[in-house]
Structure formats: C-alpha cells, structure tokens
Amino acid sequence: MSRKKTLPSITKPFSHVHATLKTMGFTELPSREGSTYELTFRDSASLQEYPYRIYTHTQENGQTHIDLNEAGFVAQDNIPVSATAAAQEMLAELQQYMEYGPAKTKPTESTPIGKAMNGKMANNEKEVRQLGKVMASLPTNSQVMEKGMMPDPLQ
C-alpha cells in the first residue's frame, strides 16, 4: 500500500506567489477568498487537455496562503498517467520555488567597460560596409510618408 505524499502549506507575499505561478505558465482566475490558478496539461496520446488548479487564500495579514494538497485536476476521472506525472513534477518544482526561490547562480566577473562591446553596431570595417549597404536601401522618412505610412519615431 502506498501513501499519498503530504505536501506543505506555504504562506508568502502575494507578489511572490503570483509572479512564480505566472512564470510557471498558470493563468489567474479571481475568486472571493483569493485566486485560483489554472494550468492545462495535454496528453500527447489522446490530445486531450486536463486543467489543473491551485487555490490561494488571502489571509488577514495580507499574505497569500497555498495548501498544495488542495491542488488537483478539475475532472478527477480518467486522468492519464502522463498528465498526473507531469502535475506531480510541476508541484515539486513549485514547492521548491515557493520555499527557496529560484536556484541562485554564482555571479560571474563582469567585463571591464573598456573591453565591453556596448553600443557598437559593427565589429570591423567589413561589417560597417555591409551595414552601410543595408541602410542605403532603406526608405527615408519622407518616402515613407509619401506612401501614407508613419515613419519611426525620432531616436
């Protein structure tokens, strides 16, 4: 007999919860006590879609509470194993992001400003000539206006 893994309840600021769920592909469905977030899983064999929802609750202190055990598919019957496995993997990833934030990478040394190539349109004379030919073939603002179009705004 296997037990269902108990998932944690997480309380975080709304901005963190909302940004994390949106980044993971969820769409927000407003509700009275908080928000419901939905993500659709697609079964590649049957091409059926299975909506999966996570419910958030706004607490009195303004924090947003998520009980990951409440999360689940809208329709509970005939959910393919592939969709269920994808949902479990997504929940584990969501739990990690909610509790610890995204994986932090060690900052690398930045390039000194003297060596950086910022603001350059071309790296050598050959590229400058090629860029000049491309720009020569572009219409001027007056030619664009003669065709009844709006030119690009001034840079």
Between the CA atoms of 14, 15, 20 and 26, what dihedral angle is there, to the nearest 10 degrees? Answer: 70
Please report whether residue 147 resides in a domain: no
Please report which confidence band the pLDDT of residue 154 belongs to, taking 50, 70 and 90 as the band edges: low
Q: Could you give the number of structural domains in the chain?
A: 1
Is 46 inside a domain boundary? yes
63 in any annotated domain: yes
Enclosing domain of residue 76? 9-100
Most confident range (mean pLDDT) of 67-71, 108-112, 121-125 is 67-71
User: Does the structure show a pLDDT above 50 at 141?
Assistant: yes
Percent of the chain topping pLDDT 90: 5
16-36 mean pLDDT: 85
**CATH code, 59:** 3.30.310.100
Q: Is 25 within a domain?
A: yes
**Closest-CA residue to 72 (of 90, 98, 99, 96):** 90
In a domain, residue 83? The reply is: yes
Is the residue at 68 inside a domain? yes
pLDDT at position 116? 58
pLDDT of 68 strictly over 80: yes
pLDDT score for 1:
38
Q: pLDDT class for 63, splitting at 50, 70, 90?
A: confident
For residue 115, tell me if it sits in a domain: no
Query: 32-36, 63-67, 103-107, 144-148: lowest mean pLDDT where?
Result: 103-107
Across 105-113, average pLDDT: 59
Q: Please check whether residue 131 lies inside any domain of the structure.
A: no
Q: How is residue 5 written in tokens?
A: 């893994």
pTM of the model as a whole: 0.58
Average pLDDT score over residue span 14-31: 86
Q: What is the pLDDT of residue 3?
A: 44
b/e 109-124 (16+ beta carbons within 10 angstroms → b): eeeeeeeeeeeeeeee
Cα–Cα dist 118/114, whole Å? 10
For residue 72, list its beta bridge partners: 53
